[in-house]
Amino acid sequence: MTNRLQHFSYGGELIRFERLTRPKAGKLLIKVHPDCRVEVMAPPQTPDEEVLAAVKKRARWIYEQLRDFRQQLEHVTPRRYVSGESHLYLGKQYLLKVIVAPSSVQGVKLLRGKLEVSVRQPGSETVKAQLTQWYRTRARELFAKRLDAMLEQALWVVDRPPLRLLNMQTQWGSCSPNGRITLNPHLVKAPRECIDYVILHELCHLAEHNHSERFWRLLGQVMPTWEKTKQLLDGMAHRLLTS
């Protein structure tokens, strides 16, 4: 079963949700994520009409969850890229230290619990550009290593799939019909187990192209703790995408 987008109205608002197939038979499960995505997991045999009716019964709760998350997003302090800010890398917090030296080589170093950014002239955009490039370089190197490690578990994959990086607002990864895996460079700020989860998730799509029951069963075989890890990643989503 492929994913399907559905919607309903509540409080004068059109609320969209994505229906996913629940890996195990059971009750319908509704999740509202910090980035305001709404997912509904249901057994494959459940008719869409029944799913929609169940979602409407929880409409008020969904609406309130979305309202609370949106309020949190509104009060996030914008990044200034100055010394003393805290930035994430592999799930850990690092203090930012900006060094302005006109004759220095611009770049970023991870040193003694700090992210040291050297720039020739002051300015938040200059610091941001250096930090963004550093994250991207680290992501490219680390994702390639973790992909090789995860391929040892993904026995159904014959050839190493091509890998690319792409900034995405609502996805950590994707798998194209021709087998190319795309990962969000912001993912490098998450704990290593979250990176492994996303990579394994996409490798499972090489065998099962949609979120069918077989897909979730396969993911559960290679990563029994995937649900806990996904919950951790979902809870960090906004911080990772804005830090």
Q: Looking at residue 75, what is its pLDDT? A: 57
User: Which residues of the chain are modeled with pLDDT < 50?
Assistant: 1-2
pLDDT of residue 94: 93
Domains of the chain: 4-74 (no CATH), 86-242 (3.30.2010.10)
pLDDT confidence of residue 185 = 97
Q: What is the pLDDT of residue 74?
A: 63
- In 3D space, the residue among 203, 194, 113, 97 whose CA is nearest the CA of residue 158 turns out to be 203
For 60-96, how does the pLDDT look when each residue is reduced to its tens digit (9 = 90+)?
999 988 888 777 666 566 788 999 998 999 999 999 9
Whole-number pLDDT of residue 71: 74
